[in-house]
Chain A
Amino acid sequence: MTRCVRWSCVLALTGCSQASVVSNEPTPTSTTVPPPPSTAEMKPGEGPTELEGGDRPPLGRLVRRLPLDTLQAAMTRVAGTDINGKPLEWTVNGVNGFSDAAFGRALGRPDYRAATEESGVSTALYMKFVGDAARDLCGKMARNDLKRTDPATRALFPKADADGGATEEQQIANVRYLILRFLGLRVAAEHPMVAPLREVFHSGRDTAVQAGAELSPSAEGWRGVCVTLFESPLFHND
């Protein structure tokens, strides 16, 4: 029973219908990804179902870490543009941090001379630079959004104003918007990704209120959510 519940939840999470058992045709997908089950359903000592044997699922497409070219383009697209319409980039000493003039080679971009293949490993160095890029870009996104008077044109908080007056519904709407923008997932309000991200938002906002910050407290909160999403494995999987 527990196994069945878990399976249905995995399927639900991935937008599938139970009716699509070993089908070769795509099935209709729901417009939102319902929440997965509570981990409290797993009994003490119970192992992962993957280890219990059984038939293999049909082969699908695997996932891989984004190539550096794609990562560079993806972060820039997600970050959007500044108020002058110029794409936002992670800049190091005036050049794009992912370019070969900065850290592109160090991060493993192949030049087809000395390096002919790009490693798909998320090394410590990769994670470090992704963190740097995320903090730089998210700051730029927040600063530019603060200058935009039309919320619809904002990239980071189009659904919730950064003046501290956003309602809970607006905050949830903005989190769901950001999950779609960053990760390509349309999630329901009760999805388990939403609450922790709201917690990040609240923590960043509250810290800014107490300690002061460069941006408005709410903008600092959304900046924290932005960094979290940029560092999510779901962002880095293709």
Chain B
Amino acid sequence: MHTIHRRASQTLLGVALVLTASGTAWATPPATSWQPIERAVRQLSLDLRGNVPEMSDYELVEGAAELPDALIDAYLASDDFRLQMRRYHEALLWTNPSVSLASVSTALGSVTIDGVQILRLTGRRSLYRGGDGTADCQAKPQAVLGYEADGTPKTESFGVVGGNPVRREGYVEIHPYWEANPATVVKVCAFDAQTTASYSIASGPDAGTFSCNTLQGVSRSASCGCGPELRGCTVTAVGNAVLAAFREQLLRSVDDHTVGGAPYSQLVTTKKAYVNGPLSHFLSHVAHTLPLSSIQSGVQPSDGAVPSVPYAAGDTWISYEREAPHAGILTLPGYLLRYQTLRGRANRYRIVFRGQYFEPPSSKDTGCLDVGDDLTLRCVCRGCHTTLEPLAAHFGKFAEAGSVSMADFPLSFATRAACNAAVAPSLTAFCDRFYAVVPSLEDPDIRTWRLKPLRYADSAHPEVQPNFEAGPDGLAQSDIKSGLFHEVAVTHLFEFLMKRPPNLDVTSPDYEGETLATIAKDFREQDDLREAVRALVKLPAYRRLP
């Protein structure tokens, strides 16, 4: 049986080789060879739907000479085509960010105390309980210990550890926001579960009352907890849900601009975005409390009014409008967090939407600097960076290692103190996170703090400032206006459908540049991706045997 099976496979292999033969030289003047119609339907279905045809599709084309338009229409209108376009764009963009969305001050971890499983924040143990920062609460209900008059959980003393007294509270049972079933409760240390909305600083330059739901609140005040239903904190599942939402958010934009009727070019310019429950919750309650050393994704005025969606509504996606400098998928977290540096964002944009790739120089670089911070002047580096740095400036309004819009941030501060005082209460790390000291070219004693992307915005780099101002939208609009966007999109689609790059050798009888230019021209006018796909699959080359 096995031998026969193998022999049959070899026969099929032989037929396969005949069907897919791609000889580099042919003995006789070749007749053009077309795929059998059923095989052509199969390849069309695999390309447009990511699946083989139904048997009824084969019956539909029996005896037909060409692929029926109705079949192409049906495939292009199918939900499988939408999914296939998601795969296609994800393969181009690689937008599946993997970042940590938790900090020790907001990520609840589970610990077993005297046999009782309790959630608590490891980063706030010192703040809440003193000692050496390793004490958790007790395995007894807080109701047994009671509360102070101001609502603070009462504690019991547990001696001195590391030179500091230790006090430990009990636990409370709470329904957490991430549990869809309202009857589900978890045990949480009472300090961590506090619902205080604000805290006060009595004296000093930062005196005042401030919200607990801030980075300063969660890291400095013992009276601040996770808030009602623990909404200011996360567990691992929440982080995973938000990462999945980042990916889906971007793919929903792809849906809109591939099959949803929106112009394809607006994929990189639209202000429209979507949020679901986990994303809405993260942006509203958690993002702005992450430490400055972590991802920065806090909502800013230019992000528009993010709709409030209950966390449990993971499948509910609500659209909303962002404001400038947002630009389509280029400023969604799925893109910004996948490419965390301005250069990375620009490089990916250049590959996907300009069809251009950096290559190291093949000859020795002379007349350049061997050392220095400015990569546009350094030997070898400058080969790419003279192009990349101005391009990267377009993404400067979105923080590196984050997706936060800095469009509302001051462009510079005269001093570091002024920079750190820009947020209240002051944060010493704020300035270092978003600003860099830039000595004046005329007077080295004048050292202003400028937004990092504007570090090199000077007369020696005249493109940086205008590109920063234009933002990613300006970059995209420029490429759409020039026609490059649609030309490159058609080339990518051609490669996707034909499984090879187009022949752009003008001396070749098989030169395909004109065909692509025609399709790109029509695509630019119609701005409908499906029409470009339709034009490509109707090319004779698509039906021709390799």
Inter-chain CA distance A54–B46, complex, in Å, is: 33
A13-B15, A26-B66, A193-B12 known; A116 and B26 CB under 8 Å? no
Inter-chain CA distance A185–B29, complex, in Å, is: 26
A60-B544, A61-B541, A232-B12 known; A204 and B1 CB under 8 Å? yes
A13-B19, A29-B65, A185-B39 known; A7 and B31 CB under 8 Å? yes
A15 touches B98 (CB 8 A): no
Chain A 225-238: CB-based contact to B (< 8 A → 1; otherwise 0)? 00111011110011
A200 touches B5 (CB 8 A): yes
A13-B19, A16-B31, A233-B13 known; A185 and B541 CB under 8 Å? no
Inter-chain CA distance A64–B22, complex, in Å, is: 12
Q: Which of A56-71 contact B (CB under 8 A)?
A: 56-64, 66-67, 69-70
Q: Which of A111-154 contact B (CB under 8 A)?
A: 111-113, 116-117
CB of A40 within 8 Å of the partner chain: no
Inter-chain CA distance A67–B46, complex, in Å, is: 10
CB of B87 within 8 Å of the partner chain: yes
B58 touches A16 (CB 8 A): no
Inter-chain CA distance A11–B47, complex, in Å, is: 24
Inter-chain CA distance A58–B515, complex, in Å, is: 14
Inter-chain CA distance A184–B37, complex, in Å, is: 9
A58-B510, A77-B52 known; A14 and B19 CB under 8 Å? yes
B65 touches A224 (CB 8 A): no
CB of A160 within 8 Å of the partner chain: no
Most chain A CB inside 10 Å of its own CB: which residue of B18, B35, B510? B35
CB of B16 within 8 Å of the partner chain: yes
| A-side interface mostly | loop
A50-B24, A61-B498, A184-B53 known; A193 and B31 CB under 8 Å? no
Inter-chain CA distance A36–B7, complex, in Å, is: 17
Inter-chain CA distance A172–B5, complex, in Å, is: 17
A17-25, A89-97, A162-170: which lies at the interface: A17-25
CB of A52 within 8 Å of the partner chain: yes
Chain B 69-81: CB-based contact to A (< 8 A → 1; otherwise 0)? 0000000000000
Counted as pairs of residues, one from A and one from B, with CB atoms less than 8 Å apart, the total is 246
B51 touches A77 (CB 8 A): yes
B26 CB to nearest chain A CB (Å): 5
Q: Which of B22-62 contact A (CB under 8 A)?
A: 22-39, 41-43, 46-47, 50-55, 58, 62
Give the residue of B19, B26, B28, B55 whose beta carbon is less than 8 angstroms from that of A234: B19
A180 touches B31 (CB 8 A): no
A78 CB to nearest chain B CB (Å): 6
Inter-chain CA distance A52–B47, complex, in Å, is: 34
A60 touches B54 (CB 8 A): no
A21-B29, A31-B63 known; A62 and B510 CB under 8 Å? no
Inter-chain CA distance A238–B46, complex, in Å, is: 6
Chain B residue contacts of A173, Cβ below 8 A: none
A125 CB to nearest chain B CB (Å): 18
A59 touches B541 (CB 8 A): yes
Give the residue of A29, A59, A233 whose beta carbon is less than 8 angstroms from that of B512: A59
CB of A55 within 8 Å of the partner chain: yes
A63 touches B37 (CB 8 A): no
Chain B residue contacts of A58, Cβ below 8 A: 30, 32, 510, 540-541, 544
A27-B65, A186-B62 known; A234 and B32 CB under 8 Å? no
B98 touches A113 (CB 8 A): yes
B546 touches A61 (CB 8 A): yes
Inter-chain CA distance A230–B42, complex, in Å, is: 15
A6 CB to nearest chain B CB (Å): 9
B89-97, B183-191, B200-208: which lies at the interface: B89-97
A62 touches B58 (CB 8 A): no
A58-B544, A61-B546 known; A33 and B27 CB under 8 Å? no
CB of B481 within 8 Å of the partner chain: no
A14-B36, A69-B50 known; A56 and B24 CB under 8 Å? yes
B8 CB to nearest chain A CB (Å): 4
Name the CB-closest residue of B to A179. Answer: B12
Rank and list the top 3 A-B pairs by shortest CB-CB distance, nearest first.
A60-B544, A184-B42, A15-B36
Name 7 A/B residue pairs within 8 A (Cβ), A-sorted. Answer: A7-B30, A23-B32, A67-B50, A113-B98, A193-B12, A196-B4, A238-B499
If A60-B544, A185-B36 are given as contacts, then 15 extra A-B residue pairs at C-beta distance below 8 Å, sorted by A number, are A7-B31, A26-B540, A29-B34, A57-B544, A60-B33, A61-B43, A61-B543, A67-B50, A73-B51, A183-B42, A185-B38, A185-B39, A186-B38, A192-B15, A237-B16
